[in-house]
């Protein structure tokens, strides 16, 4: 059985990410969606929240599991016996960055291939940052993420917080 790893920050998971996950679930025996934790990157959601949301939204795919790592993703992939790294691409800018990342990963682990999967065309402009920006401007984001994600973002970005 081929194990594929799809890693990202997923802050939060978008419909574009889910498009890639659906494709991967059809192509591979087991897909591990990995929340890659970068302590230098400022995120809206905690790693635990991102993992929880991902688990909720991929629950319909029995061959998809969710994990997290603070280490180098290609090393995580090797440790779990994965032979494929998946990367979602939205357009030319993503392709350039992702190609450079794939070359770095190949140098670190020549036995692990990188496969680029595009999201559906109508989701090409959906990013986690754009999703948060749209919600902050009061726009409807329901077409760009699952309901659980929209609810978590509304809670985090729009609801007043009580003083500590």
Residue list, annotated binding site for ATP: 9-10, 17, 88-90, 98, 123-129
If we measure between CA atoms, which residue out of 148, 94, 85 comes closest to residue 125?
A: 94
Question: From CA 55, how far away is CA 149, in angstroms rounded?
Answer: 12
- Point out the annotated binding site for substrate: 9, 41, 73, 87
Interhelix angle 147-157/128-136, rounded to 10 degrees, is 60
- Point out the annotated binding site: 9-10, 17, 41, 73, 87-90, 98, 123-129
Contact 138, 153 (CB under 8 A): no
H helices within the chain, ranges in order? Answer: 15-27, 47-57, 73-79, 92-108, 128-136, 147-157
């Amino acid at each position: 059985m081929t194990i594929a790893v799809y890693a990202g920050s997923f802050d939060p998971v978008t419909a574009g990410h889910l498009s890639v996950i659906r494709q991967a679930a059809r192509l591979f025996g087991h897909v591990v969606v990995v929340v890659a934790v970068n302590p230098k990157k400022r995120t809206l959601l905690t790693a635990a929240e991102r993992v929880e949301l991902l688990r909720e939204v991929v629950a319909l795919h029995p061959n998809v599991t969710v994990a997290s790592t603070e280490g180098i993703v290609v090393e995580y992939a090797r440790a779990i016996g994965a032979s494929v790294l998946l990367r979602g691409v939205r357009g030319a800018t993503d392709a350039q960055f992702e190609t450079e990342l794939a070359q770095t990963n190949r140098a670190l682990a020549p036995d692990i291939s990188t496969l680029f999967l595009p999201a559906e065309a109508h989701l090409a402009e959906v990013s986690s940052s754009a999703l948060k920006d749209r919600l902050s401007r009061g726009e409807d984001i329901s077409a760009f993420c699952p309901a659980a994600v929209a609810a978590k973002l509304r809670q985090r970005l729009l609801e007043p917080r009580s003083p500590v």
